[in-house]
């Protein structure tokens, strides 16, 4: 389902689900950096491990705060 389709949905929970998933992903990144653990993400239809060091480096490179980047 695309963002445009989500915006047109009749179910308010469905509309809010994208924002909720973004918040959850940002929190997972933040916790991973705080605890020095890795997270698993899907990128280009592949499963990828992101270490805490990679997340910190990505954040330091100006790619946005952990709450704004998915």
Instruction: Please count the structural domains in the chain.
Output: 1
CA-angle at 39, arms to 28 and 43, nearest 5°: 105
pTM score, whole prediction: 0.71
| Structural domain contains residue 67 | no
| Structural domain contains residue 20 | yes
pLDDT of residue 68: 46
Integer Cα distance of 19 and 49 in angstroms = 23
State yes or no: pLDDT of 70 exceeds 80: no
- pLDDT, tens only, 5-61: 888 888 888 888 989 999 999 999 999 999 999 999 999 999 999 999 999 999 888
What range does the domain containing 51 cover?
3-60
Confidence band, pLDDT 50/70/90 cuts, at residue 65: low
| Structural domain contains residue 70 | no
Confidence band, pLDDT 50/70/90 cuts, at residue 64: low
| Structural domain contains residue 26 | yes
């Amino acid at each position: 389902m695309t963002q445009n389709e989500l915006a047109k949905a009749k179910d308010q929970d469905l509309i809010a689900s994208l924002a909720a998933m973004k918040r959850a992903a940002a929190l997972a990144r933040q916790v991973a950096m705080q605890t020095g653990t890795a997270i698993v993400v899907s990128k280009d239809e592949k499963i990828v491990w992101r270490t805490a060091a990679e997340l910190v480096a990505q954040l330091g490179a100006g790619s946005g705060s952990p709450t704004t980047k998915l």
